[in-house]
């Protein structure tokens, strides 16, 4: 079973109002094990980021101005998605709506790797598995499930949220997961040498800064299973 845990950051709340995806982060899980294969990219939305959205993710117009547009990255992302059985999202209606809106703008691109997946709403699953919580936000689910959020304040974004979601979902569903990567491994392995291989095309992603790499690496170390966690 190949699952993709996906999160997006956006310019606003409603794709019907022309809001766009500005970051996508995906984490691969195979047979309940988090692998080294990830996908992350920022996008130039060709519109301004709403103030409220910017306060959530910290991505502003200046930062996004030199990033690729979604259409330029979509073929690589869809190629990486190929063969996935499920896509898991927290509040899937939101993320799925934005992804669908972006895909509808594409021309001549095979979107079947996305459309052939079963979409799983982790929010709905959480309400069934953990009834009675005062909040079903990703942060509160992580706290409830004993997943450390200390470094999240410093490095907030789609890749970290997708990673948190994978850990929370697997723990919530009573499965064992293993984090085998560091963020430095991610930068080296996922980007590749540009030649591609039998497993899929080489990916072009936005590399994090050295400070971001160090912070994310610290975050991932905190995510390692601790003795006594079961």
Phi/psi of residue 229, nearest 5 degrees: -75, -25
Q: CA–CA distance from 31 to each of 35, 170, 199, 201 (Å)?
A: 10, 10, 18, 23
**DSSP-assigned letters across all residues of 198-219:** TTB-----PPPPHHHHHHHHHH
Task: Compute how many other C-beta atoms are within 10 angstroms of the C-beta atom of residue 169.
Answer: 26
Helix axes 92-104, 122-129, angle to 10 degrees: 170
Task: Compute how many other C-beta atoms are within 10 angstroms of the C-beta atom of residue 62.
Answer: 7
DSSP 197: B
From the candidates 90, 134, 156, 216, give the one annotated as an active-site residue: 156
Q: Give yes or no for a contact between 200 and 79, defined as CB atoms under 8 angstroms apart.
A: yes
Q: Is 38 a catalytic residue?
A: no
Residues carrying an active site annotation: 156
């Amino acid at each position: 079973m190949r699952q993709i845990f996906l999160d997006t950051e956006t310019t606003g709340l409603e794709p019907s109002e022309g809001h766009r995806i500005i970051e996508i982060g995906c984490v691969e899980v195979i047979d309940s094990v988090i692998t080294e294969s990830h996908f992350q990219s920022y996008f130039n939305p060709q519109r301004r980021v709403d103030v409220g959205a910017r306060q959530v993710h910290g991505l502003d117009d200046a930062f996004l101005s030199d990033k690729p547009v979604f259409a330029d990255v979509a073929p690589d992302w869809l190629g990486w998605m190929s063969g996935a059985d499920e896509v898991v999202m927290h509040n899937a209606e939101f993320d799925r709506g934005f992804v669908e809106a972006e895909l509808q703008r594409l021309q001549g691109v095979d979107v079947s790797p996305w459309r052939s997946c079963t979409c799983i709403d982790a929010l709905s699953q959480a309400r069934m598995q953990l009834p009675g919580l005062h909040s079903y936000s990703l942060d509160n689910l992580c706290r409830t499930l004993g997943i450390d959020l200390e470094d999240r304040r410093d490095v907030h974004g789609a890749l970290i949220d997708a990673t948190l979601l994978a850990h929370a979902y697997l723990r919530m569903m009573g499965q064992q997961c293993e984090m085998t990567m560091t963020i430095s491994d991610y930068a080296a392995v996922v980007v590749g040498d540009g030649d591609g291989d039998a497993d899929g095309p080489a990916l072009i992603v936005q590399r994090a800064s050295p400070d971001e790499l160090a912070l994310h690496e610290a975050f991932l170390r905190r995510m390692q299973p601790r003795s006594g966690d079961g």
